[in-house]
Amino acid sequence: MKFFIDTADIQAISELNEMGLVDGVTTNPSLIMKSGRDIIEVTKEICSLVKGPVSAEVVATDASSMIKEGEKLAKIASNIAVKVPLTWDGLRACKELTSEGYMVNVTLCFSANQALLAAKAGATFISPFIGRLDDINIDGMDLISEIRTIYDNFEFDTQILGASIRTVNHITQCALIGADVITAPPNVLKQLAEHPLTFKGLELFTKDWAKTGQKII
């Protein structure tokens, strides 16, 4: 399973990229706002750091404007994936942009029917929002499972990109179900390494080692 980083924070991306943990990056208007930087400038810098797909989202709501914005964003770098919303206009934009040879990430997916439409429209990635479904007491993992089954039944090439990741359990479940990609904030990815028994064991080993009076270096 691929790890995408859901941030526009250059420092966080660089740190994780150096460890080989970044297969791509996803951004959105909220993350760009948080970065406080120009969308073209920060996206270009991210693309220079990361070899994999970097999702840059359109802000228009009609198909014609989405296509124009998508074409402009795609010119930033060859690894741009244009991000469009899962609306009827977004699907029209997806079809046009993919026909022009661009990668497209269809976002804000909340149902298997929506995911089916995105695949038919040629989406490179479909982004089901797990956490936001959980917020309204619907198990987001059921959606990942439904999409996996549908895509496998009909051999769609669209990759399932688990989004709105809130916990390490979301990542585990996505891996078990067979999502192709997850995108998560840097802090959640770092939490994958944490376990109370690891910390407890390390504390014990450190204390015992101190009692030996030895040094390795």
Q: Which positions are annotated as active-site residues? A: 83
Q: Are 161 and 127 in contact (CB under 8 A)?
A: yes
**41: how many CB neighbours lie within 10 A of its CB?**
11
Write the DSSP string, 142-199.
Answer: HHHHHHHHHHHHHT--PEEEEBS--SHHHHHHHHHHT-SEEEE-HHHHHHTT--HHHH
Q: H-helix or E-strand containing 75?
A: none
- Which residues, other chains included, contact 130 with Cβ-Cβ below 8 Å and sequence gap of 6+? 140, 141, 143, 144, 162, 163, 164, 165, 166, 170, 174
Q: Are 115 and 155 in contact (CB under 8 A)?
A: no
Query: Of 132, 137, 131, 135, which is closest to residue 173 (Cα–Cα)?
Result: 131
Give the separation between CA 56 and CA 43, rounded to whole angstroms. Answer: 7
DSSP code at position 215: -
